[in-house]
Structure 1
């Protein structure tokens, strides 16, 4: 009896496992998975696998049936002494009362289960063979339903994306969103370099390494010296002859190498400058090495950015070019914010070893990001290497560009407005701490408020440009907002109101964002296929130079006026600290008014009578 009970338990265990295994085959999921993920090339291969699987399952079923018959014939013919009624009530095997009957029932059920598996395998094989058998038309209702559902989801996603996803409408069939975002990685590297030069290293050199402020300012200003050459870089990338058929990629690659070399050299040169060298004359070598390192980084970031923006313009359709370039500049802002936070965390506990690791890590990140950004972006065109094709000179190209509208007036407006908005860059946080007596944490928030205002400016620009507002008119709105912002900052001290100062800070970012978007869009409206590099190079040269000059003038004028007020040159006890800041902010207001005067004819008449662009500006994902 005990042996018979063990046989029954074993039979029940076999049956339970067979049922669980049969239920684990989800044909519906297999069908959906195959239909969604496989293409035509692999379906024939899977059809062969399905046929082989069908044959294997049927062979297993035949073997199981033979095993059941053998088991039944080899068992003892002695009947089970337990009454059949009781056995039938205690066994879940159709009332089998002997080992032979148990084996037969078990074999039949296992055979049936394996047969069902074979049928399911046939169904899967029919699915994967369907396209080859019916010319790609699968008439299976389940497959048709899955296909319709997938099409519906795709259509709804295409409708949803331009409305809710940032920059989705900047993409096109020629430049999909994933490829566009990958291309924008070079702006992340440029933003990282700008933060490292003007923020992290600026503070480290003055505070931790004890270098003179004037020397640090001179080193940080070296990259600006190369900014005027951006127009020449853009022109050369337009007319470059490459045996590989590329125009933009060689310039981006050489710019990346220069930026990498500058970062690799920089930390060691800084240590020599600080007097940590063990060799006589090492401090002078440190000066030369640091100057070379900062200059290399400046050459690299200006070259990479100019050629990269021109490449994006080449790849994007004409209707979406301003939106694409604007997306890349927003990615620059994202790179600056993200890298500043990362550098702050990594250098929280400053050591020389950590500085070496961070700066050289930035060098590696530059190459990594830019290689990914460039991979399979520019199409090779060997026709450009034909020596029989005459290339225009810089003068000829500039004259043709100048005749398209009023680029000189536009570039003057870019220079004046950018200088006005950038003079406060080094004064915002000191003004809050020294004049309004804000804490360190409170002044740190000002940078976030400025960035928030800039992003809000992009969002507002997307709406008004989508509604047809002309780009130069948008820039005039930004200038007016900037004037109001600087007036609020000026009155924050007499009112002793930090909140007025914070509102003014947000408005500075808002006005600067509107102005920058409008000027960039207007510059791109003047560019054609053959001179996109020249147009962006001219815009970038003026913009970058104005930022450097404005920052230098802002700090210099503030120090000069404060010193004169402190010794009584400006009158008895005028409030030396506030006088220095006040003069700079008043000068910024005057520069914005001059910008408004230059922009007014462009806003009234357009760019030389050219058709006003009503293209949507691909920033609909921003707030506002």
Structure 2
């Protein structure tokens, strides 16, 4: 609300960078604490994390919001019905295609969310401390993706073309994770985790930038565009995490019961099915993304660098 129309997308990206930094640092701290693993130590770390979450949230929220952030005129101004704004927003077929692309791409990148760490521990025999560092690797890759995105956007690259690069990196990332088991290579596994973050970061920034630069008609506003981006991402992430875990459990249960034959009894089979499904979804994302790619990149006015004075205060 405090950012201008021109800088809102970049401010949201900055907030997401802070989120990734927090994830990366916390993963390193927890991984260090769990180096000498025991069940009691795990309980203590979880309890400590819960207390720190409460304390840090109180500090973060303290006096951050005014009791009445909007003026009286803003509150009394007539607001269009959601159905009218949504109809205006989706009358362009490219907008609908963008929503579908965000949803499918988010599913493709997030289906592994609850599987990477158990995959490393169960299949590659990594310690609890080592698998915890996967979060730091993912966050580091995502931060690198944000940095590359900022550089490319400042050069006027088409956001959809940049999103395609992220998808291609994601395909390579999941291929590396898949191959790490038969090759017994933890190094390849960690590289794959970092590349998942890199590809996902590029895709997230690309689709957010695209959502904030599309032509908004009628009663629809930039806030609706940002809300649609967030809703498509959250829905895709939530569904994919549930689907990924369920598929892994169902396939492994069927495999260990002998229903899939003697060649598919390994615990790695369930994980492999999920990772291959994610690669398939990434190819579908590329197909959906293709018609959206512009012949030319963004205009200079859309890629203006974000100065310190632009940040909401």
- Structure-2 residue corresponding to 1:323: 10
Aligned length: 299
1:423 aligned residue: 111
In structure 2, C-alpha distance between the alignment counterparts of 1:403 and 1:613, rounded to whole Å: 25
- Determine the structure 1 residue equivalent to 2:188: 500
Instruction: Please state how far the C-alpha of 1:536 moved relative to its aligned partner.
Output: 1.7
- Pick closer, same or farther for the CA change 1:365–1:473 going to 2, 3 Å: same
Once the 2 structures are TM-superposed, how far is the Cα of residue 429 of structure 1 from its aligned partner? Answer: 1.5
Distance 1:457 1:490, change over 3 A: same
1:544 aligns with 2:231: no
Match of 1:558 among 245, 248, 254: 248
Name 1:601's counterpart in structure 2: 291
Partner residue of 2:57 out of 347, 361, 366: 366
TM-score normalised by length of structure 2: 0.83
Shift of 1:370: 2.4
Question: Residues 102-153 of structure 1, C-alpha deviation per residue, up to 9 Å, x if partnerless?
Answer: xxxxxxxxxxxxxxxxxxxxxxxxxxxxxxxxxxxxxxxxxxxxxxxxxxxx
CA separation of 1:342 and 1:600: change in aligned 2, threshold 3 A:
same
Match for residue 432 of structure 1 among 95, 104, 120: 120
Distance 1:457 1:407, change over 3 A: same
Output the CA distance in 1 between the equivalents of 2:183 and 2:49: 43
Distance (whole Å) between structure 2 residues aligned to residue 503 and residue 391 of structure 1: 49
- Measured after TM superposition, the shift of residue 512 of structure 1 is 0.6
C-alpha deviation, 1:498, in angstroms: 1.9
Q: Which residue of 1 aligns with 2:164?
A: 476
- 1:564 is paired with a residue whose SS is helix
Q: Distance in 1 between matches of 2:171 and 2:127?
A: 27
Moved more, 547-556 or 528-537: 528-537
CA contact (8 A) 2:109 2:200 kept: yes
Please report how far the alpha carbon of residue 537 of structure 1 lies from its aligned counterpart in structure 2 after TM superposition.
1.6
Secondary structure of the equivalent of 1:569? Answer: coil
* SS in structure 2 of the partner of residue 406 of structure 1: helix
- CA displacement, residues 79-115 of structure 1 (integer Å, 9 cap, x when unaligned): xxxxxxxxxxxxxxxxxxxxxxxxxxxxxxxxxxxxx
Distance, in Å, in 2 between the alignment partners of 1:590 and 1:613 is 36
| Structure-2 residue corresponding to 1:521 | 209
The reply to whether residue 334 of structure 1 matches residue 21 of structure 2 is: yes
- Compute the displacement of 1:612 (Å): 8.7
2:72 to 379, 382, 399: 382
Residue by residue, what CA displacement relative to the aligned partner does 1:515-548 show, whole Å, maximum 9, x if unpaired?
A: 0110111111137697233222211111111111
CA distance in 2, matches of 1:551, 1:559: 13
User: How far 1:367 moved relative to its partner?
Assistant: 4.3
Q: For the Cα contact (< 8 Å) 2:180–2:188, is it kept in 1? A: yes
SS at match of 1:576: coil
Tell me the TM-score normalized by structure 1. Answer: 0.44
Which of 390, 399, 408 lines up with 2:96 in the alignment? 408
Question: Separation in 1 of the partners of 2:288 and 2:301?
Answer: 20
Conservation of the 8 A alpha-carbon contact between 1:489 and 1:504: yes
CA distance in structure 2 between the aligned counterparts of 1:329 and 1:377, rounded to whole angstroms? 25
What SS does structure 1 have at the residue aligned with 2:114? coil
Shift of 1:399: 1.8
**Alpha-carbon distance between aligned partners in 1 of 2:90 and 2:73, rounded to the nearest angstrom:** 27
In the aligned structure 1, how far is the partner of 2:63 from the partner of 2:92? Answer: 36
- Inter-CA distance 407–568: structure 2 relative to 1 (3 Å threshold): same
User: How far apart are 1:396 and its partner, in Å?
Assistant: 1.2
Question: Aligned partners of 1:374 and 1:572: how far apart in 2?
Answer: 60
Equivalent residues of 2:27, 2:135 under 8 A apart: no
- Inter-CA distance 617–508: structure 2 relative to 1 (3 Å threshold): farther
Q: 1:429 to 1:360 in 2, by over 3 A?
A: closer
1:76 counterpart residue number: none
Q: Which residue of 2 aligns with 1:119?
A: none
Larger radius of gyration: 1
1:510 matched to 2:201: no
Whether the 8 Å CA contact 1:323–1:617 is kept in 2: the answer is no
Aligned to 1:446: 134
C-alpha change, 1:474 and 1:540, in structure 2 (3 Å) is same
| Change in CA separation of 1:462 and 1:555 when aligned onto 2, cut-off 3 Å | same
